[in-house]
């Protein structure tokens, strides 16, 4: 049984941790920066930008959040869940316009 490579690596890592114990503490406190100020409402262009990065460029939600700190997770989720601009229900817009025309003529 020859385990000198494993035992040597274990001894080296133990020695490293013994000499530099603060490195473990530093790695434990690394955080992704989050905005502390209130964010503005996302515009249609921002929502379209988020959808383009996600669906066409293949970015993950985490990538979008890291590269665009002005967006919150909730804003990114909303942009991916809904269309960039609200859409009318087909057919109702024409009926409302017709009703408006009839009411102006008193009919």
Predicted confidence pLDDT, tens digits, the chain (107 residues): 455 556 666 666 666 666 665 655 555 566 666 666 666 888 999 999 999 999 999 999 999 999 988 889 999 999 999 987 777 777 655 655 666 665 565 55
Beta carbons of 54 and 61 less than 8 angstroms apart: yes
C-alpha Rg value of the chain to the nearest Å: 28
Q: What is the pLDDT of residue 75?
A: 93
* Continuous H helices in the chain: 4-19, 22-28, 44-51, 61-67, 73-81, 92-104
CA distance 60 to 69: 14
- Both 48 and 81 in one domain: the answer is yes
Stated pTM of the model: 0.49
Number of domains in the chain: 2
- Both 79 and 65 in one domain: the answer is yes
What's the number of CA atoms in the CB half-sphere (13 Å) around residue 78?
14
- Both 23 and 44 in one domain: the answer is no
Q: What is the pLDDT of residue 1?
A: 47
Q: Does 101 fall in a domain?
A: no
Q: Does 104 fall in a domain?
A: no
């Amino acid at each position: 049984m020859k385990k000198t490579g494993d035992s040597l690596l274990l001894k080296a890592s133990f020695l490293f941790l013994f000499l530099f114990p603060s490195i473990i503490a530093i790695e434990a406190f690394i955080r992704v920066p989050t905005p502390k100020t209130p964010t503005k409402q996302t515009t249609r262009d921002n929502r379209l930008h988020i959808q383009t990065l996600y669906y066409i460029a293949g970015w993950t939600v985490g990538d979008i959040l890291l590269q665009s700190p002005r967006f919150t997770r909730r804003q990114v989720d909303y942009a991916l869940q809904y269309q960039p601009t609200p859409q009318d229900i087909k057919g109702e817009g024409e009926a409302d316009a017709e009703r408006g025309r009839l009411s102006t003529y008193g009919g």
